[in-house]
Chain A
């Protein structure tokens, strides 16, 4: 089934440890995004990539980094996790930025 795959589904991470959240899409969409979703705050953009080889900062980029080596993959790395990064993380893609976004199933991360 075409779409976006995120891994892992959930993770408990000790504060200070690093972790990479994986995101892969098979729709050949140019644009990809990482959001975090916290209760009462809605979706907040962390980083985005309009095309392979380029990335940009969103609303809440601090503590996170991304790379876009190819069209399909857009990993999100937490270099040194802190409890405030406890959240649900969604990866999304779109074919033009003006069309509908397709979301992955999310990664529930708990930093303790």
Chain B
């Protein structure tokens, strides 16, 4: 079967750095997405990785290792508004998105 694993919940301090990991086992791979979802709102696009390596976009970076079936989302200089759920999703061989259950990130002052 297809599986995406992420930690259920993480806590970090305002101003710090946090890394959210995602491991996947899917039938094929055509890219990996990270989305942010604030409580009661729709998911919004953060990043897309299809090649190995690090993609940096402001305070957020996303890393991919296809050989290890592994990705992480790195958030720097954490702000209170970063409190949200972070969803990892993999595009499989049929170009369907397989979603992880999400990681709820709690930021403390």
In the complex, the answer to whether A104 meets B42 with C-beta atoms within 8 Å is: yes
| Known contacts A90-B42, A98-B31, A100-B45, A42 near B102 by CB under 8 Å | yes
Q: Mark B33-59, 1 if CB is under 8 A from A, else 0.
A: 101000001111100100000000000
In the complex, the answer to whether A100 meets B87 with C-beta atoms within 8 Å is: no
Q: Does A69 contact B (CB under 8 A)?
A: no
Interface residues on B, range: 20 to 34
In the complex, the answer to whether A98 meets B30 with C-beta atoms within 8 Å is: yes
CA distance A98 to B99 in the complex (A): 14
Closest B residue by C-beta to A96? B95
CA distance A42 to B27 in the complex (A): 19
Q: Does A74 contact B (CB under 8 A)?
A: no
CA distance A90 to B96 in the complex (A): 16
In the complex, the answer to whether B42 meets A43 with C-beta atoms within 8 Å is: no
In the complex, the answer to whether B95 meets A42 with C-beta atoms within 8 Å is: no
Contact among B31, B45, B87 for A43, CB-based, below 8 A: B87
In this complex, which of B8, B42, B89 has the most chain A Cβ atoms within 10 angstroms of its Cβ? B42
In the complex, the answer to whether A98 meets B95 with C-beta atoms within 8 Å is: yes
Chain A positions near chain B (C-beta within 8 angstroms): 35, 40-45, 48, 58, 90, 97-106
10 closest cross-chain pairs (CB), A and B = A42-B101, A103-B42, A100-B45, A43-B99, A42-B99, A97-B95, A103-B43, A105-B42, A106-B42, A42-B102
